[in-house]
Amino acid sequence: MATTAIPIDTLPSINPATGEVLAHFERTPASSLPEIVAQARVAQSAWAKLAIRDRCAKLRGLRERIMASRNELADAVVRESGKPRVEALFADIFVALDSAEYWSRNAARALRTRRVPHHSTAAKAKRGYLAYDPLGVMAIISSWNYPLAIPLSQIIPAVAAGNAVVCKTSDFTPQCGALIEKLFIDAGFLGNLVTIVQGGGEVGQALIDAPPDKVLFTGSVATGRRVAEACAKKLIPSVLELGGKDAMIVLADADLEVASSAAVWGSYTNCGQVCLSVERLFVEQAAAEKFMMLCVEKTKKLRIGPGSDPATDVGPLIRPQHVQRMGDLVRDAVSRGAKVLCGGNSRPDLGANFFEPTVIAGVDSSMKLFQEETFGPILAMQIVRDAEEAVARANDSPFALAASVWTSDRRRGEAIAHRLRAGAVMVNDAISYFGIAEAPHGGCGASGWGRTHGKAGLLEMVQMKYIDVDRLPRSEKPWWYRYGADLERAADAFLQFEFSGVIGAKLRNARSAMKTFFRDHGL
Catalytic positions are 241, 275
In the chain, the N- to C-terminal Cα span, in Å, equals 94
The arrangement of strands across the sheet holding 462-470 comes to 114-116, 126-134, 462-470
* Beta bridge partner(s), residue 26: 10
Strands (E), 70-125: 114-116
* Alpha helices (H) along 336-386: 368-371
CA distance 326 to 342: 14
The arrangement of strands across the sheet holding 194-197 comes to 194-197, 164-168, 137-141, 214-218, 238-241, 448-449
DSSP state for residue 397 in the 8-state scheme? S
CA distance 382 to 361: 6
DSSP state for residue 90 in the 8-state scheme? I
For residue 108, give the 3-state DSSP assignment. helix
Which residues, other chains included, contact 429 with Cβ-Cβ below 8 Å and sequence gap of 6+? 262, 404
CA distance 302 to 357: 8
State CA 203 to chain mean position distance.
21
* Beta bridge partner(s), residue 359: 342, 379
β 339-342/358-361 pair status: antiparallel
CA distance 170 to 203: 11
CA distance 453 to 439: 6
Which H/E stretch holds residue 424? strand 424-427
CA distance 94 to 221: 27
| 29: amino acid identity, one letter | P
The arrangement of strands across the sheet holding 378-384 comes to 339-342, 358-361, 378-384, 280-284, 247-250, 402-406, 424-427
CA distance 360 to 335: 12
Which residues, other chains included, contact 438 with Cβ-Cβ below 8 Å and sequence gap of 6+? 102, 453, 454, 455
Nearest to 434 by CA among 271, 270, 323: 270
Burial class (CB in 10 A: 0-12, 13-18, 19+), 388: exposed
Q: Are 384 and 394 in contact (CB under 8 A)?
A: no
